[in-house]
Amino acid sequence: MAIRLLKRALDQIKVGQEIQEATQEEITKAQREYFLREQLKTIRRELGEGNEAEAAITEMRKRLSEGKYPEAVKKEAGKELERLATINPASAEYSVVKTYLDWLLELPWNVTTADNVDIGKARDILERDHYGLNKIKDRILEYLAVRKLKADMKGPILCFYGPPGVGKTSLGKSIAEALGRKFIRMSVGGMRDEAEIRGHRRTYVGAMPGKIVQNIRRAGTANPLFIIDEIDKIGNDFRGDPASALLEVLDPEQNNSFLDLYLDVPFDLSRVMFLTTANRLDTIPEPLKDRMEVLHLTGYTEEEKVGIARQYLVPRQIEAHGLKTDHIGFDKKTLVEMIRGYTSEAGLRRLEQAIGQICRKTAKSVAMGEAVIGKISSEALVDFLGPAPYLPELAERKDEAGVATGLAWTAAGGDILLIEATRMKGRGGFNLTGQLGDVMKESAQAALSYVRSHATELGVLEKDFSKTDIHLHVPAGAIPKDGPSAGVTMATALASLLSNRRTRHDVAMTGEITLRGKVLPVGGVKEKVLAARRAGLRTVILPARNEKDLLDIPEEVRKSMTFIFVREIGEVLKEALRSGTGSARGDGVERKGPQGHKELAGKQKSAAAAAKGR
């Protein structure tokens, strides 16, 4: 028993001794580091260098006391400075806290630039940099006028919506210059991480603020002009929804206390003038769209493209390629030929690329000492650009049954849509091809139902439906198509096919159709009219309720075209179908039209005369 007790006592003494030795070793190590650090301080002091960590903390305290920071920032920064002073500079936590303090102190919390309230000068800058766009320029000048009368006005959220290449982003630069503000551009196309907007919490390794705060720090002012590009192409996944994070950023009632997760201190974004750009509106979430004022930039007319090319594109490309005006030049006829034969767009990017291609070939000739043409003629375009890829649509068209010309809206502007219908022996089937969406398929079904329900009026026999299959096709089958605006075009093609009456190839149309034969209004009228004009069509059939949309179309376009406004599909057929008969596709024989069409033909002639007068 005595041996057992002695052994237990010896074990306790041994453990205590080991603990004492380990403690003494740690104390000795800490004392050694302390003595070495003090010696290092003394050596640096003797050399006149001082302690970098202490100098950094002292500088931060000085900046915090002298700078104009909000109370919340002063309180948070002061607390972090006290914490930083107690952390070993060699510790990983030291760099984390120091980086956070650098962000807090370097942000322009109350640094702003004075707005240029000279409206005349702003108008001159906008006119200098951009051709046309009068409605957009007026809106910017209205903003400046209100800003001049009310200095504390909250910045508006404007969304420039239109096809590519019409000058949405470059317009933002001109507005920034007109206002005298710093310009920031951030593209959110393809962004899928919410932290790109709100930032990361400091608990994560490598945490940083979001792109909004980063760009404002880079600009150095709290009231820059901030353009968010491609807002319609923003995405989402398991990392969050950036579009939802933008709701707070783009709301003038909420963004005065925007909370970045990294800063954890509210930042006032109400002084920032936000602009956004988009090619389409249907992909933007409704709550986000509701926070923005949408300004529609439509495509350019041929006259506007020629003016922009002569005033901006040609001089810019000549300078970019090191040429002089006596080396190369473009007259109006050449530019018109380039626009018609080598571009098919609402904007100007392809036109500028074509001009650049000609300039490159000319620069090569100049560099090699060869003779240059000087003025580029329209005949010489083939040598520079090759054969024209775009031919006038009417060159290959003629009046025929079963074909109608519609108008479509796309994200790149307007385009014409040829809808073909044919029939063959069968059992009353109806086939649709051309990669059509559900809405467009429903429009085709509604068009067929209307034609069948009005078969007697159109001179179509009932057996034509029961013993034949009908095939409706929309060419360019590789391109997805959807929307209700092709309803009247489909009804016209079907009526032309089944009544064996030729369709006028020089007439384009758009409108939604109902089962009762009513023609409902559609969108994108300006883009569609410009597409018809580009294709050489001069007569357009529109829904009557779209007549107000002609105000957005340039006057020279309105004067050169004839617009026919209709309320029912019967009016469309009177204007679009010829009075005689023609060979319908797939029929193989010619048939005479019904006797009842004589009166309809007379009405059509009078309607056409009235339309010509309009």
Just list the catalytic residues: 485, 528
d(Cα 380, Cα 262) in Å, to the nearest integer? 60
d(Cα 156, Cα 373) in Å, to the nearest integer? 50
How long a stretch of residues is the chain? 614
d(Cα 575, Cα 602) in Å, to the nearest integer? 11
d(Cα 493, Cα 400) in Å, to the nearest integer? 10
- Interhelix angle 119-129/168-179, rounded to 10 degrees, is 150
- Angle in degrees, CA 549, 554, 558, rounded to 5: 75
User: Which tokens go with 168?
Assistant: 């949405």
Task: Phi first, then psi: give them for residue 518, nearest 5 degrees.
Answer: -75, 145
- Interhelix angle 332-342/349-367, rounded to 10 degrees, is 120
Q: What is the DSSP letter of 301?
A: P
Number of separate helices (H) and strands (E) present in the chain: 24, 20
d(Cα 406, Cα 76) in Å, to the nearest integer? 64
How would you label 335-367 residue by residue, b for 16+ Cβ within 10 Å and e otherwise?
bbbbbbbbbbbbbbebbbebbbebbebbbeebe
User: Which tokens go with 609?
Assistant: 């005369």
Q: What is the DSSP letter of 504?
A: P
Alpha helical stretches, state H, 378-454: 381-385, 438-453
User: Which tokens go with 89?
Assistant: 């500079």
CB 416 within 8 A of CB 408: yes
Helix (H, G, I), strand (E, B) or coil at 395: helix
d(Cα 339, Cα 530) in Å, to the nearest integer? 13
- DSSP string covering 230-299, please? -GGG---BTTB-HHHHHHHHT-TTTGGGEE-TTT-SEE--TTSEEEEEES-STTS-HHHHHTSEEEE--P
Nearest to 299 by CA among 275, 277, 276, 279: 279
User: Which tokens go with 442?
Assistant: 């429903």
d(Cα 533, Cα 214) in Å, to the nearest integer? 46
**C-alpha distance from residue 469 to each of 376, 414, 498, 594 (Å):** 54, 32, 11, 22
CB 182 within 8 A of CB 220: yes
Per the DSSP assignment, residues forming a β-bridge with 431 are: 471
